[in-house]
Structure 1
């Protein structure tokens, strides 16, 4: 596994449900990279991290739909599933065009964090808002900003640049949700 600043943010923030350069390989979600010569390692890491984070966020949001009774939480979760599914499809197509197949599930660390959301008491809503909402988006934004700054492939950088405003919007939505569910 290769660690990066993003990986440290993952551990520090919540071990966020976003892919943070925390792992280059997962056991069952290992990327298939028959022809990696099209991308610099920074771009491959970004695509891997973004894919894993998207899957983690979708899975966490699916849990919210099952566990939460709060309509605000469910509305946010539905929006995250919709948006991250669309971005994930676009990311997969971009990666494929570069000869790279990104992971199709969260990293092992992210799976552990998703397991931590499997609470049976009323703490789920605030935990979901904090971990999947705020911390995950803060970390994801850092991953996307790093790609914009350091990425080598123009199309991958453009994808990151195009997607960043939506992630920033998600963060603001998550902060508002966290404020609502923490008051209770």
Structure 2
């Protein structure tokens, strides 16, 4: 008979332990869900847009810094400085947006963009000006306009969509400026 009181006491301890373990498991599961929900607050499509936008801005700034050093053409230097200033401002806005969405952005151009900048670094004179106007003034801005146009209509996150839509007119203006610059440097004597 003595074993019964001990058995019921042991049984009660096991039930309490199970309840505590169950509550602990629920707490951990809830905390894990909360963390993954905040980390997944932006879709992979929107993360990809932010990454590509950051790389594009980084590339335009890096190439434009090269243009300030290499070009003697005032129109090229003026365009390059505007790209550095304006893409720097947009880049800062993108960093704030990405930070609010727990997205880490690249701090450099993509590998392909770095290769194009390396080509620019080897050029000089009017050849440099023409290639910079073509690659950065026109081609890079055409790509950026397409990227931002798509996200301005199809981004899942409303903040990402608004950022793309707000930035798009400026990029279209840069493309127009780039085309004008290309016309000027293409017409220049060698």
Q: TM-score if structure 1 supplies the norm length?
A: 0.79
Cα RMSD, aligned residues only? 1.0
Match of 1:72 among 71, 75, 83: 75
Partner secondary structure for residue 124 of structure 2: coil
Quick check: 1:42–1:147 contact (8 Å CA) kept in 2? no
- Choose from 53, 58, 61 the match for 1:58: 61
State the match for 2:92 in structure 1: 89
Partner of 1:146: 150
* Offset of residue 119 of structure 1: 2.7
Is contact 2:49-2:147 (8 Å) kept?
Answer: yes
Shift >2 Å, 4+ stretches: 119-122
In 2, the alpha carbon distance for the partners of 1:148 and 1:56 equals 21
**d(CA) in 1 for partners of 2:159, 2:88:** 20
1:156 equivalent in structure 2: 160
- Structure 2 stretches lacking a partner, 5+ long: 1-37
- The structure with higher relative contact order (CA 8 Å, sep 6+) is 1
Aligned partners of 1:144 and 1:164 also within 8 Å = yes
Q: Structure 2 CA distance, aligned partners of 1:38 and 1:101?
A: 13
Report if the CA contact (8 A) 1:42-1:150 is conserved. no
Q: Paired residue for 2:42?
A: 39
Q: Indicate the structure with greater helix content.
A: 2
Say which of 148, 170, 184 aligns to 2:174. Answer: 170
Q: CA deviation at 1:68?
A: 0.1
**Contact in 2 for aligned 1:61/1:80 (Cα 8 Å):** yes
Task: Tell me how far apart the structure 2 counterparts of residues 132 and 102 of structure 1 sit (CA, whole Å).
Answer: 21
Aligned residues: 150
Change (3 A) 1:114 1:36: farther
1:71-128 per-position Cα deviation (integer Å, ceiling 9, x unaligned): 0000000000000000000000000000111111111111111111123432000000
Match for residue 140 of structure 2 among 120, 126, 136: 136
C-alpha distance after superposition, 1:136-169 (max 9, x if no partner) = 0000000001111221000000000000000000
